[in-house]
Structure 1
């Protein structure tokens, strides 16, 4: 463990683990507060894309902070083997844990969605695309506010305003990413739409027994609202879902448009 980190924080228990590293709870005697430390093992980064993401994540977090709905970067430490990113400590459960067993109410879904879209709109204004929005990356702080996390796949759009690399999670990735086409920030809105669908239905709109089958379902993009599941879901919610989970990127809502949608404005209440 990095000496500078150990001199600044007390390292506590492991609270999470990912593909390239581990998340620890740490304590700062200077502030008398706990934080989360994401320790990334640089020796596990095997290609240029992984290394670029490693370099970009703290830069992007620094650019985006502070925002009430994005995990706040507190400190950064690096040694020969690892990068240590110290972030605000959120609750142990994620949005995924919340929707794992049953759907949430429209008012609760609208509240979570408004906060998520606020984070996405802020990112996009600064030219950042998250590229891995999913319930597991939607956290909650100690006050219950939504916090978008894990910017390990995020990137800047650059001068052309498009990127091409295939990044994302099967259930939530936009079809244009899978097609290998150039894409822009609207991939995040497709993913956010799938998150909203999952909140209201308790399951994603596109699924399969294998990753290949899931990708095929995403590429077909046949959005359905099964009566058994959506019987009590409002027309306004379904309208927003259609405008987010829209194969035609030119017609797909931006984050700003979604924030102005009546279902979001009215917090999921019938008008």
Structure 2
């Protein structure tokens, strides 16, 4: 199965102009970095950051001492690990080889990450595989994610929110320039490199590219309904979208950072998605008293249903709010805001751990894989399709297909 999946990745890189996804033999491992595609002479246009990512087959324990689990979701677990040779601390993401679909998603994640090199994007160092698991060795982020920091620090200010926006917009600008869409921007996917009270833009890392893909060509659109319900853009729910969906998610994230709840938060999943599609939200004075007009304007411009009214990445980077000279004004979260954060975090954590609703007509179906919910809204439709030109195999509900 893995060999067939590797063929998919080779085709992906061939399309992208990159090198081959060469699987190293045990003899080749750890003898210095081998340029991917060198054997075939693909050194010119194919040369890039992906050439320096080592792909290993064999026992990861030969090279890393794997310690405690630091995160988990769906079929993936993340562990803290120490490289035996250098004593460098890394994060090891372990994904079970449960299905061709999950393997394909990991292959696409690796393929994308091999091409990325940006200070606000988590670094991929190398990969391993054995009979049961795939392993991604990543930059270790000791500071935790944004939501955990909100809960533990107990303070929020516009300066901190603007810092997160600047870092993520810088990462998105880089992704856009390289032809990618992230598709799953949320607090859990933004981490701090260091565990320090003095967090800066340089400490921020965008993580989890399992559902990222290539941006559509001019005049074309992505169609796969993928994302996290509280941050997904309305056009994603409609099944026709592009890179603008990431700006919507960033606006919803900014709202969350400053209020303790997402802008679209219904009593049920179906209600939440109806609110998202309508795109109507308010800034309750009890929660937003003291927040600047510039900040609210930034959020409104990100959360525009009409794409021509929504900020682009470059427009967002130039927004006056992000260029404002903040004077260290700190807003201590009110007790009710902290309670909302805790309640939301506990509720959302159940979703992250693979909670699933029963499918049916008139229901919203969520199937969580590694913390990402694929959405089937109000009807039974394929979980994954090849509409976006990705590697996800098509699935259809129904007894006939399961009998094959």
Query: So what's the TM-score if we normalise by structure 2?
Result: 0.62
The 3 A distance-change label for structure 1 pair 42 and 108 is same
| 235-244 or 50-59, larger mean C-alpha shift | 50-59
Match of 2:230 among 171, 174, 186: 171
Aligned residue for 1:117?
A: 169
Equivalent residue runs for 1:90-101 within 5 Å: 90-91=141-142, 93-100=144-151
Residue 153 of structure 1 corresponds to 211
> Which residue of the other structure, out of 111, 118, 138, is the alignment partner of 1:59?
111
Q: Is the 8 A contact 2:185 2:246 kept in 1?
A: yes
1:233 aligns with 2:291: yes
Q: Residue 17 of structure 1 corresponds to which residue in structure 2?
A: 72
Residue in structure 1 matched with residue 140 of structure 2 by the alignment: 89
The answer to whether the 8 A contact 2:58-2:129 is kept is no
Contact 2:189–2:207 (CA under 8 A) maintained in structure 1: yes
Structure 2 residue 98 is matched with structure 1 residue 39: no
Instruction: State the alpha-carbon separation in 2 of the partners of residues 196 and 171 from structure 1.
Output: 12
- CA displacement at 1:174 relative to structure 2: 0.2
Distance 2:208 2:221 in 1: 21
Runs of at least 5 residues in structure 2 that lack an aligned partner in the other structure: 1-56, 329-404
Per the alignment, in what secondary structure is the counterpart of residue 281 of structure 2? coil
Instruction: Compute the displacement of 1:46 (Å).
Output: 6.0
CA RMSD of aligned residues (A): 1.9
Q: State the shift of 1:99 in Å.
A: 3.1
Alignment coverage as a number of residue pairs: 264
Q: CA deviation at 1:267?
A: 5.2
Which residue of the partner structure matches residue 158 of structure 2? 106
Deviation of the 1:64 alpha carbon: 1.3
Partner in structure 1 of residue 63 of structure 2: 8
Give 1:211's aligned residue: 269
Gaps of 5+ in 1: none
After TM superposition, list the pairs within 5 Å mapping 1:179-194 onto structure 2.
179-180=238-239, 182-194=240-252
2:338 alignment partner in structure 1 = none
Distance (Å, rounded) in 2 between the aligned partners of 1:227 and 1:150: 35
| Separation of aligned partners in 1, 2:75 and 2:132 | 12
CA contact (8 A) 2:216 2:242 kept: no
Distance in 2 separating the partners of 1:183 and 1:76: 31
1:69 paired residue number: 120
Secondary structure in structure 1 of the residue aligned to 2:128: strand
Q: Distance in 2 between matches of 1:156 and 1:269?
A: 40
Are the counterparts in 2 of residues 106 and 269 from structure 1 also a CA contact under 8 Å?
no
Give the Cα separation in 2 of the matches to 1:267 and 1:124: 27
